[in-house]
Amino acid sequence: MTELFDTSVSGEQYLEALLETLYMVSISLGIGALAGIPIGITLVVARPGGVRPNRWVYGVLNVVVNVVRSVPFVILMVAIIPLTRLIVGRSIGTTAALVPLTIYIAPLIGRLIESSLLEVSSGIVEAADSMGANLWQTIRYFLLPEAKGSIILAMTTSCVGLIGATAMAGVIGGGGVGDLAISYGYQQFDTVAIVATVVILVLVVQGLQSIGNAAAARARRG
């Protein structure tokens, strides 16, 4: 019975794994947002009935986003190993995991940003047009401010999704809490390690979601 509560994982290892997870999430979310937000804006602007409709741009971008999002993350990690090795010089490790994580999250952010901007009333765009606003001004001063609350929730959702993806990155030795769960919890049948990693991930997700919800509520009130 006592063997169920034995663990070979130290507190320092849990802390290191948590820091690795936060490192992967923050870097890939930042880079993914730099690509995903313009993708989402372009999808809204170029779609039929958008501010500047362009069926070719919208069609190609829409297909690319759908294709990347349709590939399960575990398969994506394996499929782009040559690209990962080309960019960072190796295919395993915490830094190497940033490549598939970024490619995974950018289209998701783009789609969520698109949904957020589509929630903005068409009257806002009409008001911008009546004031003589150009495309950039319409996006910067009308669409984005009106969708700020939804965009915050979209980024929160993306962040939570990334946490789940970093756990799967442990399959290829990506480091972080997921790698700890696989290396000790699964391969060494360490029940305590499994439970501890689950608790850590749940607490992190709950904390981020609470912060995101509060920030979105404040943005909508403002």
Tens digit of each residue's pLDDT (9 = 90 or more) over 28-56: 999 999 999 999 999 999 999 888 899 99
What are the pLDDT digits (tens) for 113-142? 999 999 988 888 888 888 888 889 989 989
Nearest CA to 99 among 120, 78, 114, 83? 83
Is pLDDT of 83 > 50? yes
Q: CATH number, domain at 64? A: 1.10.3720.10
Opening angle at CA 153, ends 148 and 155, nearest 5:
95
Residue 56 belongs to some domain of the structure: yes
Q: pTM higher than 0.85 for the full model?
A: yes
Residue 2 belongs to some domain of the structure: no
Is pLDDT of 179 > 70? yes
Mean of the per-residue pLDDT values for the chain?
87
Q: Which residues contact 143 (CB under 8 A, 6 or more apart)?
A: 41, 44, 117, 120, 124, 125
> For the chain, what is the domain count?
1
**Domain span including residue 118:** 12-220
What are the pLDDT digits (tens) for 63-78? 999 999 999 888 888 8
Per-residue confidence band for 4, with pLDDT thresholds at 50, 70 and 90: very low
Residue 3 belongs to some domain of the structure: no
Nearest CA to 162 among 7, 17, 28, 12? 28
Residue 161 belongs to some domain of the structure: yes
CB 67, CB 110: distance < 8 Å: no
DSSP-based helix, strand, coil % in the chain, nearest 5: 85, 0, 15
